Amino acid sequence: MMELRWVACRLHWILWLLFVSYTSAFYLPGYSIKRYNDDESIPLLVNKIFSDHTQLQYAYFDLPFVCPPSGRAHGGSPFGSGQSVSLNLGEILRGDRIMTSDFEMQMGKNIECQALCTREVGRKDVKGSRQLIRDGYVAEWIADNLPGATSFVTVDRSRKYYATGFKLGFQDYSPVDGKQRFYMHNHFTIVIRWRSAPEGGKVIVGFEVYPRSIRAEDHGPDGCPRRIHDDHEGLELYLPPNMERLRKMYPGSSYLPEDDDDLDDGATLKIPYSYSVYFKEENGVEWWNRWDLYFSNQEDSSMTHWLAVLNSLTISGVLGVAVCVIWGRTVQGDIKGRGDGAMDDSKLQRGSKSRSSSERKIEGLLDQPDVERDADVGSEDEGLDDVSGWKLLHGDVFRVPEYSGLLAPLVGSGMQLFFMTSGLLLLSCLGILNPSFRGGFVSVGMGLFVFAGLFSGYFSGRLYKTFGGVSWRKNTLITALLFPGLAFCLIFILNLFVWAQASSTAIPFGTLVGIVALWLLIQVPLVYAGSWYGYVRATAWEQPTKTASIARPIPAQPWYLHSIQGTLFTGLAPFAVLFIELLFVFQNLWQDKSGYYYVFGFLSAVTTILMVTVSEVTIIATYSQLCSENYHWWWQSFLTGGSSAVWVFGYCIWYYSFHLHITGFVSSLLFFSYSLLACTVYGLLTGTVGFLTAYAFLRRIYRSIKVD
């Protein structure tokens, strides 16, 4: 009986094929090419500002120091500046607020300088601007679906790469007193790189923004800087203190504070804004690979990704050997040692009476004479010599667990997350979900999650029926509301804190209502339909052995089988498979927001190996538990599969402490809350995989003993 070994070998071959194919995955940069004719208007959209040091984002036009939209239409567009662009759900959830602007660009037409506006800001706005620059905020503009990029060159000057956005300003120190000074960028040099399209017209293959800070005194009457290509002193965000007002506020004081930015005395700082536009032909970049420059700074990490996959394969391979040993030498050895693998029920029942005090619980045994009782015990012990520990539990191993009404909904939610994650990774590897599809990952993920409610209801309902439950509608309600409800409540509470900060990260009220509608009006009925089919139409999973009426006592267990430390110990192997790739995921999610995580091929390979590793660890832990005569494996297998989530959350804490420089209570709250939610999702998914693997494994081995 080499079936499991054959399946394991076949599974490893499938993993290698997935690995080879996914690592060369491509992306589709869009579905249609926009071709421009000479002098055709190119809309420039403004989005938001974001920082690697905080989780709060702000809409560009909400900033008090930028030029407000004039409302005028440009380039024949029926919409004036300041018009919001329609956004998908993913864009809204990621904090995008895309709007039309007053920047005028026409294909092939260079603009030496064009004044935009002159903005006057007070002391409080100057102070707020300095804080944004101190936090390293970056502005994001969009042209032809490309984010405006800051261009960088490698140290050896052999390769150029892009980083999304440009700095609002910069910090410097005064050479006189050594104090920190802040300067605002108020002139923007826009470079549009284009190439001719074979079908005619021109296509944009690059969008670069080079900001400069030029003081107001260097601007002429037309609003443009004089001698624009010369070096200029920067526009410092500084208003001299109002000494007369300070003397009135601190009469007789020998010390007057230099910083009076909190005072509103009507003083303003003028910030003139202007821009230049240049078009450069770029024949070295094709339109379909114009996003490559945004990724080129990540090419050096390819070797690390390969090492991560090799590390994952090594761990999974070692555990796979252990599973093969368990099946080939232990389980099959126990069966083949009996001849044809069949055992009569009487021998197993005699075996189930042993182990310390269990025979004393058999009715009438203590009433026998001493000689007869000793003979009975001796005969039973003789029958135990060839019965292994896991077989003694045939009458209890499929006993309904405690809190089965909670386990079934959790498994259902885990299957829902499993189908959603699988769909996202598959679409990403195929290139359908890519950076040009802004917000697509979140939007499609939300749609897949809602649709997967069918699978959630089906698995929850059928497992609930297997447990002998009768209130399937109650089980359906718990499945549909438990995890989504807790997640929504957490997001809503966090949203209140973000709302208080006037950040675009806050989800609009209308979007919240739409999410609730998706949840209650679409997902809940789908869960109900799946649960109805799984409970009413489908049959319960048939157990291979009958459950005894009297529960077998469980002997004392080793520490690694029942304690919290033992459960955490089993989570180390899956975490070791994942932790290298986690570094790149965290870097793109929390630290390098201007970049894009694009190596979904590697992530898919690691995720596949992770699922296999979780299955292997659960099989080993469950078999060890059964050999110790502990049949409470239902919840234990679920916790074993999801135990690595605790290590992932610990990794989040370590990453926050040593890699992130997040400032502010709200940003820290967002980090830990979303990390906890992500680890909960991960734990549900891997816990469900572990549970179903253990269930399938036990059904297989107990079916093989052929108990009559």
Taking only the tens place, the pLDDT of each residue in 545-591 is 999 888 888 888 777 666 777 888 999 999 999 988 888 888 888 87
CB-based contact 614:667 (threshold 8 Å): no
pLDDT of the residue at 472: 96
Higher confidence at residue 550 or residue 459? 459
Same domain, 575 and 512: no
Handedness of CA 543, 545, 548, 551 (dihedral sign): negative
Q: Which of 492, 513, 542 is the last residue of a domain?
A: 542
Query: Are 691 and 411 in contact, with CB atoms under 8 Å apart?
Result: yes
Residue 249, pLDDT > 80, answer: no
Q: 130, exposed or middle or buried, with CB in 10 Å at 0-12, 13-18, 19+? A: buried
Contact 637/696 with Cβ under 8 angstroms?
no
Classify residue 1: in a domain, yes or no: no
pLDDT of amino acid 254: 56
Please indicate, yes or no, whether residues 305 and 290 belong to a single structural domain of this protein: no
| Contact indicator for 208, 105 with CB cutoff of 8 Å | no
- Supply the pLDDT for residue 195: 96
The whole-number pLDDT of residue 91 equals: 93
For the cut 70, the answer to whether the pLDDT of residue 358 exceeds it is no
Please give the residue that has the higher pLDDT: either 146 or 27.
146
Q: Which of 516, 542, 568 is the last residue of a domain?
A: 542
In a domain, 386, yes or no: no
Question: Do 117 and 80 sit in the same domain of this protein?
Answer: yes
528 and 572, same domain (yes or no): no
Same domain for 54 and 199, yes or no, is yes
The fraction of the chain above a pLDDT of 90, given in percent, is 58
For residue 377, is it within any domain? no
pLDDT at 604: 86
Residue 28 pLDDT greater than 80, yes or no: no
Establish if 687 belongs to a structural domain: yes
Q: Is residue 666 part of a domain?
A: yes
Q: Which domain holds residue 321?
A: 300-327+393-398+558-707
Q: In what order do the strands lie in the sheet with 187-196?
A: 111-121, 269-281, 187-196, 202-212, 149-153, 160-164
Give the ranges where 386-542 is alpha helix by DSSP (H).
404-429, 440-451, 453-466, 472-500, 509-517, 524-532
β-pairing, 169-173 with 111-121? Answer: unpaired
Same domain membership, residue 75 and residue 207: yes
Question: Does the pLDDT at position 106 exceed 90?
Answer: yes
Alpha-carbon span 44 to 145, nearest angstrom: 10
Residue 4 lies in a domain: no
- Boundary-marking domain end, from 276, 294, 312: 294
> Of 82-86, 427-431, 484-488, where does mean pLDDT reach its minimum?
427-431
Q: Give the CA angle between residues 539, 545, 550 to the nearest 5°.
A: 110
| pLDDT score at 61 | 96
Polymer length in residues for the chain = 708
Assign 340 a pLDDT band (cuts: 50, 70, 90): very low
Q: What does the block give as tokens for 336?
A: 């083949």
pTM value is 0.85
Q: What's residue 375's pLDDT?
A: 39
The answer to whether residue 342 sits within a structural domain is no
Phi, psi angles (nearest 5°) of residue 368: -80, 160
Considering only residues 195 and 594, tell me which one the structure prediction assigns the higher pLDDT.
195
Q: Alpha carbon 263 to chain centroid distance? A: 44
Residue environment code for 280-300, b if the CB has 16+ CB neighbours within 10 A, otherwise e = eebeebebeebbbbbbebbee
First to last CA, the chain: 21
Q: Which of 66-80, 89-103, 365-379, 483-497 has the lowest mean pLDDT?
A: 365-379
Shared-domain flag, residues 534 and 609 = no
Return the pLDDT at 363: 40
Q: Is 165 left (phi over 0), alpha (psi -120 to 50) or beta?
A: left
Arithmetic mean of pLDDT over the chain: 84
pLDDT band (50, 70, 90) for residue 470: very high
pLDDT at 389: 73
Closest CA to 648 of 566, 568, 563, 559: 568
Q: What is the pLDDT of residue 339?
A: 40
**Predicted confidence band at 5 (pLDDT cuts at 50, 70, 90)?**
very low
* 663 in the same domain as 578: yes
Question: What per-residue confidence (pLDDT) applies to 296?
Answer: 67
pLDDT at 140 over 80: yes
Average pLDDT for residues 216-228, to the nearest whole number?
A: 92
In this prediction, residue 353 carries a pLDDT of 47
Q: Which pairing describes strands 187-196 and 269-281: parallel, antiparallel, or unpaired?
A: parallel
Residues above pLDDT 70, as percent of the chain? 80
Query: pLDDT higher for 387 or 612?
Result: 612
- My answer on whether 415 and 320 are in the same domain is no
692 and 644 within one domain: yes
192 part of a folded domain: yes
How would residue 684 be classed by pLDDT, with cut points 50, 70 and 90? very high
CA distance 163 to 594: 6
The whole-number average pLDDT for the span 152-172 is 87
- Number of domains into which the chain is organized: 3
- 583 and 698 share one domain: yes
Domain shared by 604 and 471, yes or no: no
For residue 673, the model assigns a pLDDT of: 96
The pLDDT of residue 678 is 96
- Where residue 342 falls among pLDDT bands split at 50, 70, 90? very low
- Mean pLDDT along residues 476-504: 95
